[in-house]
């Protein structure tokens, strides 16, 4: 007869003592951070995210060059719908003096909308499976193959467009599946590479590559279209992705024990700091316990509400500024990119700040909730204030930039909380929570568009107040039920024979 016995300490007080035990291991064998292998892993992930999101955004930039110029209004994109928005896809407009050698297509705004949205169709379905698969076969294989697939398909987009709209849409759908697999599959690597008190900065460094990818694609995509033609935007960013993929397979290893260029002291530091969280590959995911877990649901709902905030910024804020101030923000690449470069800096700084607070004896859950509050409440409040501050375009742009920057602080809060409460199953649960939150970018354009069409005068206020209400509801739910202790169902179990 087999019975299950807990390997963890039986006393309930051990939960509070766990962080103290980790601290005792971390302090004496601290390894210089910036020159270490684990920060090299984070930097490579940074460039992978940079490439993935840039490849997602460039379609928005090149669309004006691809379609007949008789349609002066660029279709406002929802192409970031498939990616959790750490992927802040923006809407930059390509210059009007384009290379005559580039082909031009007669696509209606409806067709353009389908092309934009095609990349997000599979996002909700692939986030969780890619995380689970990465936990089983390794992040190196899942992310590496997915990165190669999206880069290769980026190179094929000009050819697919020549073959016809059906080929292009299918290419975009498969590309979206690959891009979401890169996003969902990468978190499993921190189960074995991320010391608990460094995960905030490591994840922030990795995820901030998305913001830098948006900034770069917005800033130079139009210039490439103007000088070389729009196909070269895909060729250049697809080529960069292939180079990044090669770097990935050379540099990345799934665990520090097999990494050939890691020092002995760093290897001991990482493995000893993760002693309390060693993952048993034979332990199945307790589905029923997960579905009954309020901390898990608080993370999912909190991520969803934050994605609603960021999705509204992506899809509607530039349009709001254009319609209110009669200035097309897409005609100025630098101003369009400004919020994302500021957010890139704040996201990295926020990760270091979160880990700094942990060294000052702040509780882990306190740090996670502080970061989540700062990433939600001020950002949504600033957007709600936009209709009441019609004095100048500069003021509105400053508020938008500040809101976008503050929203990235959630990278050090709710988005990595699963690593705290269920480290053994974090690869699947991180993908599942981000897949759940990916519904927000799909719903936002429909709901907000309905509100704007029903009440042209107060439509913007309704959109922003709905954003604030959803954002605040998710934040409150997380503040009440969010935890940072390893859950009972996530602890290691062992079968013993009686």
Residues 290-305: tens digit of each pLDDT: 999 999 999 999 999 9
For residue 384, give both structure tokens: 């709600």
pLDDT at 96: 43
Residue showing tokens 């509204």:
312
pLDDT at 333: 57
What CA–CA distance (Å, rounded) separates 228 from 349?
A: 37
pLDDT at 10: 41
pLDDT at 98: 44
Cβ atoms of residues 340 and 88 within 8 Å: yes
Residues 191-222: tens digit of each pLDDT: 889 888 888 888 889 988 988 888 888 788 87
What CA–CA distance (Å, rounded) separates 120 from 256?
A: 34
What contacts 204, CB < 8 A, 6 or more positions away? Answer: 347, 348, 350, 351, 352, 354, 411, 412
Cβ atoms of residues 116 and 90 within 8 Å: no
| Beta-bridge partner residues of 42 | none
**Burial group, residue 465, by CB count within 10 angstroms (0-12, 13-18, 19+):** middle
Under the banding of pLDDT at 50, 70 and 90, the label for residue 430 is confident
Domains of the chain listed by start with CATH number: 36-66+107-264 (1.20.1250.20), 283-490 (1.20.1250.20)
What CA–CA distance (Å, rounded) separates 151 from 218?
A: 18
Cα separation values, 61 from 64, 285, 356, Å:
7, 42, 39
Its sign, for the CA torsion 384, 389, 393, 395, is negative
Q: What is the pTM of this model?
A: 0.75
Average pLDDT over residues 121-143: 84
What CA–CA distance (Å, rounded) separates 176 from 102?
A: 25
Query: 139 φ, ψ to 5°?
Result: -65, -35
Under the banding of pLDDT at 50, 70 and 90, the label for residue 322 is low
- pLDDT higher at 321 or 174: 174
pLDDT at 28: 39
Examine the pLDDT at 224 and tell me if it is beyond 90.
no
What CA–CA distance (Å, rounded) separates 123 from 106?
A: 28
Q: How many CB atoms lie within 10 A of CB 314?
A: 28
Each as own residue / partner, the long-range contacts of residues 276-281 (CB below 8 Å, 24 or more positions apart, any chain) are 276/18, 276/21, 276/22, 276/486, 277/191, 277/196, 277/423, 277/424, 277/486, 278/492, 279/191, 279/192, 279/423, 279/424, 280/424, 280/492, 280/493, 281/136
Cα separation values, 122 from 41, 51, 130, 143, 479, Å:
27, 19, 12, 16, 31
What CA–CA distance (Å, rounded) separates 359 from 346?
A: 20
Residue showing tokens 């955004």:
57
Residues 351-381: tens digit of each pLDDT: 989 989 988 889 999 999 999 999 999 999 9
pLDDT at 441: 77
For residue 260, give both structure tokens: 């050939």
């Amino acid at each position: 007869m087999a019975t299950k016995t807990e390997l963890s300490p039986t006393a309930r007080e051990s939960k509070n003592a766990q962080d103290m035990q980790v601290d005792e291991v971390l302090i004496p064998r601290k390894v210089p951070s910036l020159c270490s292998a684990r920060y090299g892993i984070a930097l490579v992930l940074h460039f992978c995210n940079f490439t993935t999101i840039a490849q997602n955004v460039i379609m928005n930039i090149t669309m004006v060059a691809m379609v007949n110029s008789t349609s002066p209004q660029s279709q406002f994109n929802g192409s970031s719908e498939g990616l959790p928005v750490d992927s802040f896809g923006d809407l930059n407009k390509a210059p009007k003096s384009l290379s005559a050698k580039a082909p031009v297509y007669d696509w209606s705004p409806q067709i353009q909308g389908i092309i934009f949205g095609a990349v997000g169709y599979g996002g909700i379905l692939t986030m969780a499976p890619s995380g689970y698969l990465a936990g089983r076969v390794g992040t190196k294989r899942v992310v590496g193959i997915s990165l190669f697939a999206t880069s290769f398909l980026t190179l094929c987009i000009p050819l697919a467009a020549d073959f016809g709209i059906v080929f292009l849409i299918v290419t975009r759908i498969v590309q979206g599946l690959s891009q979401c697999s890169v996003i969902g599959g990468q978190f499993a690597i921190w189960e074995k590479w991320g010391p608990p008190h460094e995960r905030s900065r490591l994840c922030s460094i990795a995820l901030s590559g998305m913001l830098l990818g948006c900034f770069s694609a917005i800033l130079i995509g139009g210039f490439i279209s103007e000088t070389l033609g729009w196909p070269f935007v895909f060729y250049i960013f697809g080529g960069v992705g292939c180079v990044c993929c090669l770097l990935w397979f050379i540099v990345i290893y799934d665990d520090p024990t097999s990494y050939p260029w890691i020092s002995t002291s760093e290897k001991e530091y990482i493995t000893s700091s993760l002693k309390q969280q060693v993952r048993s590959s034979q332990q199945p995911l307790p589905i029923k316990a997960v579905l009954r877990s309020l901390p898990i649901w608080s993370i999912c709902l909190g991520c969803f509400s934050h994605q609603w905030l960021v999705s509204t910024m992506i899809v509607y804020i530039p349009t709001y500024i254009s319609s209110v101030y009669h200035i097309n923000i897409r005609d100025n690449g630098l101003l369009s990119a400004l919020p994302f470069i500021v957010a890139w800096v704040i996201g990295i700084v926020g990760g270091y700040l979160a880990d700094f607070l942990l060294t000052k004896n702040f509780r882990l859950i306190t740090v996670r909730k502080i970061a989540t509050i700062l990433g939600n409440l001020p950002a949504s409040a600033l957007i709600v204030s936009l209709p009441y501050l019609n004095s100048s375009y500069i003021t509105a742009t400053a508020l938008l930039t500040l809101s976008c920057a503050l929203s990235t602080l959630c990278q050090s809060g709710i988005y990595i909380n699963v690593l705290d409460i269920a480290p053994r199953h974090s690869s699947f649960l991180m993908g599942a929570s981000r897949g759940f939150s990916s519904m927000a970018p799909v719903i936002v354009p429909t709901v907000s568009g309905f509100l704007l069409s029903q009440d042209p005068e107060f439509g913007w206020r309704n959109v922003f107040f709905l954003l604030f209400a959803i954002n605040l509801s998710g934040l409150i739910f997380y503040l009440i039920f969010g935890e940072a202790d390893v859950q009972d169902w996530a602890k290691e179990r062992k079968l013993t024979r009686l």
